[in-house]
Amino acid sequence: MARHPVLERRIGHRFKDPALLAQALTHRSFGSPHYERLEFLGDSVLGCAVTELLFQRHPDLPEGKLSRIRAGLIREESLARVGRELGIAAFLRLDESTARNEGADRPSILADALEAVYGAVFLDGGYAIAREVIERTFGTALTQLDPDAVDKDAKTRLQECLQAKRRAKPRYRVVSTSGAKQSLVFEVECAVDDLELKATGHGSSRQRAEQQAAGHVLALLGS
């Protein structure tokens, strides 16, 4: 199994089983085994590690602010940025069609592959090593984090805005899903019934689409 020494140096871990890293870099469109199971695992490892790091670094912050900071750090855009900094796109294995459509630079694919790499590190070296890799690869996002500058996510801001106006909570529903299994796109509608406002959002998961839809409703509200 071919190694990826450049990427291993960037993340700071040399794999005992290089097949794990190869799988983490394989998109479903290319073949099997692909990264989806490792992504599932890496998502949980990432959430646990970031939670632990924030808990240790910010002992005075309340739970609500810690949750918002964590959500900002592990959202798709943030993970895609880390993936670009590591140059993961150059190592991804995609089929020709996905590659032609700039799949290697698609935020959802970069974010998913990064999570898969974390899952692979966890299986190869254990939680402590995975935590070190996550801390290293997130770099200044963790070390120079300003808790007061962290924005609430769009869904939280929308709910607080509506509460301040004494309006009903927003309602979310999946309008459609489209695309192949390896690049599924969710379309979600966010509606505020008593204001007769609605907007849609798109994303590689329902949660991401909901956030985008909530952001669009906030824009309609002028918030």
pTM: 0.72
Domain finish residue from 126, 148, 170? 148
What is the pLDDT, as a whole number, of residue 107?
85
Tokens of 109: 């694919």
**Predicted confidence (pLDDT) per residue in 75-133, tens digit:** 888 899 999 999 999 999 988 777 766 667 788 889 999 999 999 999 999 999 999 99
14 and 58 in a common domain: yes
209 and 117 in a common domain: no
Taking Cα atoms as reference points, which of 47, 218, 72 lies closest to residue 145?
A: 72
**Predicted confidence (pLDDT) per residue in 132-156, tens digit:** 999 999 987 887 777 766 666 788 8
What is the pLDDT, as a whole number, of residue 223?
57
What is the pLDDT, as a whole number, of residue 6?
95
| CATH code: domain of residue 184 | 3.30.160.20
What is the pLDDT, as a whole number, of residue 183?
62
The predicted model gives 62-67 an average pLDDT of 88
124 and 93 in a common domain: yes
Task: List the domain range (segments joined by +) for residue 91.
Answer: 5-148
42 and 125 in a common domain: yes
- 71 Cβ contact partners less than 8 Å away, ≥ 6 residues apart: 153
Indicate the helix (H) or strand (E) that contains 114: helix 107-125
Buried b (16+ CB within 10 A) or exposed e, 196-205: ebbbbbebbb
Residues with catalytic function: 43, 115
CB atoms within 10 A of CB 97: 11
Does residue 1 have a pLDDT over 70?
A: no
136 and 165 in a common domain: no
**Predicted confidence (pLDDT) per residue in 163-220, tens digit:** 988 999 999 999 999 876 656 788 999 999 988 999 999 887 888 889 889 989 999 9
What is the pLDDT, as a whole number, of residue 101?
64
What is the pLDDT, as a whole number, of residue 190?
97
* Number of folded domains that form the chain: 2
88 and 162 in a common domain: no
The predicted model gives 30-49 an average pLDDT of 93
* Strand, coil or helix: 2: coil
Does residue 33 have a pLDDT over 80?
A: yes
CA atoms within 13 A on the CB side of 25: 20
